[in-house]
Amino acid sequence: MFLINGDSCEQISVQDRGLHYGDGIFETIAVHDHKPLSWSGHIRRLQSGCERLGIECPDKDVIESEVRQLSSASSPSVIKIIVTRGQGGRGYRVPERDNTTRIVASYPWPEFPSGNRNPGIISRICRTRIGRNQQLAGIKHLNRLEQVLARKEWSDPGIAEGIMLDDTGHVIEGTMSNLFLFRQGQLLTPDLSECGIAGVTRANILELAPALDMPVVIKQLALDEMFLAEEIFLCNSVIGIWSVRQIDKYRFDSGPGTGKIRNALLSAGLIAPA
């Protein structure tokens, strides 16, 4: 089901800047027991992304009402929110006034193998790199060609996710997920100040970790350092937590730290149980 500016339909104008230029942002939200999980985190990121791109953000209460309308109709499910700058004339110049397009869509819950959680997934290093741009870093904007090209690199169903590096060779994230690892008693995750998506589940983990006695280090993460990890896991709002048991030829254990974080997120109602 799709709601476009509040109306039930599946068409937008061919003049929409989201279609022409990727001029917009989106959120992907897990729905469990007819409730959108981590809703406050998603709406905050949506508002922040609109502010950083200079797009007029739709009213929070309107979006929430539409999300809850679709959440009540189907569960478990996935809700996607798209906000674009709306229709505009030809060329990059933005209109004097935004005519924002607001899309809220509901999709069936994807079925993933239970083994993705434990013992974990097989991953690979992608050839496609993520370009650094501080102005766009962290934003879940509609320009996702780097991820599309990276995901196009493999078709083997046994490989569940790819790891992406930036143009200097530092580890950034998965094609659809954020990355964490345990090493020497610390929880490490890549610095996303120059590129990458600052995920809502990532933010939840960073907030919960201190209470779990897990010192967090956010840093530029070299590939060699990642391969020395004791545990690696990937996360997003839909998959929750996936342990990583292999990246290319390197193998990793599904240890207690990953399970502890997964259980904390589940207990807080921040990820779906399956």
Q: Is there a single domain that holds both residue 228 and residue 181? A: yes
- pTM for the model: 0.95
Domain end residue (candidates: 108, 127, 161): 108
Q: Which CATH number is 28's domain given?
A: 3.30.470.10
Q: Is there a single domain that holds both residue 206 and residue 124? A: yes
Tell me which residue has tokens 């974080």. 261
Q: Which domain holds residue 44?
A: 2-108
Query: Would 16 be classed as within a structural domain?
Result: yes
Catalytic-labelled residue, pool 27, 28, 100, 161? 28
Domain end residue (candidates: 90, 108, 126): 108
Q: Is there a single domain that holds both residue 86 and residue 174? A: no
Mean pLDDT (whole number) for 171-197:
98
Query: Which tokens is 216 given?
Result: 């967090």
* E-strand stretches of the chain: 2-4, 7-8, 24-32, 35-36, 77-84, 101-108, 121-125, 159-165, 170-174, 178-183, 186-190, 216-219, 221-222, 231-236, 240-247, 250-251
Mean pLDDT (whole number) for 18-36:
97
- The whole-angstrom separation of Cα 1 and Cα 106 is 5
Mean pLDDT (whole number) for 118-127:
97
Residue 254 has pLDDT above 90, yes or no: no
Q: How far is CA 3 from CA 7, 35, 217, in A?
A: 5, 18, 40
* Known active-site residue 28: yes
Alpha carbon 196 to its chain centroid, in Å, reads 10
Tell me which residue has tokens 């709306």. 86
Tell me which residue has tokens 């935004």. 98
The reported pLDDT for the residue numbered 206 is 99
Domains of the chain: total: 2
**What tens digit of pLDDT does each residue of 160-169 get?**
999 999 999 9
- The whole-angstrom separation of Cα 179 and Cα 37 is 20
Query: Which tokens is 264 given?
Result: 């904390």
Domain end residue (candidates: 71, 86, 108): 108
Residue 98 has pLDDT above 90, yes or no: no
Query: Would 274 be classed as within a structural domain?
Result: no
Percent of the chain with pLDDT strictly greater than 70? 100
The reported pLDDT for the residue numbered 90 is 84
Element (H, E) at 20: helix 17-21
Q: Is there a single domain that holds both residue 132 and residue 262? A: yes
Query: Would 38 be classed as within a structural domain?
Result: yes
Q: Which CATH number is 229's domain given?
A: 3.20.10.10
Residues 6+ apart with CB under 8 A from 233: 120, 179, 180, 181, 241, 242, 243, 244, 258, 261
Q: Is there a single domain that holds both residue 233 and residue 149? A: yes
Catalytic-labelled residue, pool 27, 66, 101, 140? 140
Q: Is there a single domain that holds both residue 99 and residue 223? A: no
* Known active-site residue 173: yes
Q: Is there a single domain that holds both residue 136 and residue 229? A: yes
- The whole-angstrom separation of Cα 107 and Cα 70 is 10
Q: Is there a single domain that holds both residue 131 and residue 178? A: yes
- The whole-angstrom separation of Cα 92 and Cα 115 is 46
Note if the bond before 119 is cis, omega within 30 degrees.
Answer: yes
* Known active-site residue 96: no
The reported pLDDT for the residue numbered 89 is 77
Element (H, E) at 21: helix 17-21
The reported pLDDT for the residue numbered 74 is 80
- The whole-angstrom separation of Cα 30 and Cα 216 is 26
Q: Is there a single domain that holds both residue 44 and residue 144? A: no
Q: Is there a single domain that holds both residue 95 and residue 68? A: yes
Catalytic-labelled residue, pool 27, 66, 161, 173? 173
Query: Would 199 be classed as within a structural domain?
Result: yes
Q: Is there a single domain that holds both residue 48 and residue 18? A: yes
Considering only CA atoms, which of 115, 250, 116 is closest in space to residue 171?
250
